[in-house]
A and B are shown apart, each in its own frame.
Chain A
Amino acid sequence: QKEVEQNSGPLSVPEGAIASLNCTYSDRGSQSFFWYRQYSGKSPELIMFIYSNGDKEDGRFTAQLNKASQYVSLLIRDSQPSDSATYLCAVNPHRAGNNRKLIWGLGTSLAVNP
């Protein structure tokens, strides 16, 4: 079992729809969770972070965390073609002696069709 798992996609949604991206993780001690967006050839851009169970909203983005189910998701409302990118889920399990290392999923490719 991979430590952080994401569906590789591609996930294809029509413009204006809700895109739902999912991520599961294996380390129950994980405390911080991040979503990065990466356009082809560019660097990862942090778009959401969440530390507590529940929902966190920022504009069109909502991150949802369920620690009991070891599940974190990202919802993108009113999807735009400019949202087409790879979305990387990263988790910090805050392991002793190495509490700064993020564990990364392989990313989900999102395509928003006009």
Chain B
Amino acid sequence: DTEVTQTPKHLVMGMTNKKSLKCEQHMGHRAMYWYKQKAKKPPELMFVYSYEKLSINESVPSRFSPECPNSSLLNLHLHALQPEDSALYLCASSQIGIWDEQYFGPGTRLTVT
């Protein structure tokens, strides 16, 4: 059983909608990640939070807005998305240290219409 949970499992939204993706981890990890994955491609890093502070933003468009309310929770706020943003959005968490294996949640399948 995964200890990283994500809601919702599926989301369909229009280009003018505002929605949020949620992630929770129960592993005591202090780094959390958002990835985007398109079909037949590896995951693409979007954001990293370390100790609840944004430490990496991989030049993601501002229509994606991350938030880390506490060490267990991670949100991704979505606004004015484009159809090409349709993808599997993955949350992951890891310890902070040299040996920092990343564990993924089940993902949210997002479709933008």
Contact = CB atoms under 8 A, between A and B. Distances in A.
Interface of A: 31-32, 34, 36, 41-46, 49, 51, 88, 90, 92, 94, 98, 100-102, 104-107
A88 B42 contact: yes
Nearest to A45: B104
Given A44-B90, A104-B43, 9 more contacts: A32-B98, A36-B104, A51-B99, A100-B48, A100-B55, A101-B58, A102-B102, A105-B42, A107-B40
| Those 8 A-B pairs whose CB atoms lie nearest each other, nearest first | A104-B42, A43-B107, A43-B104, A49-B101, A100-B48, A44-B104, A43-B106, A43-B90
Interface residues of B, number: 26
B98 A94 contact: yes
Interface string B77-104: 0000000000010100010001111111
Contacts of A32: 98-101
Nearest to A109: B40
B57 to A, nearest CB: 11
B112 to A, nearest CB: 18
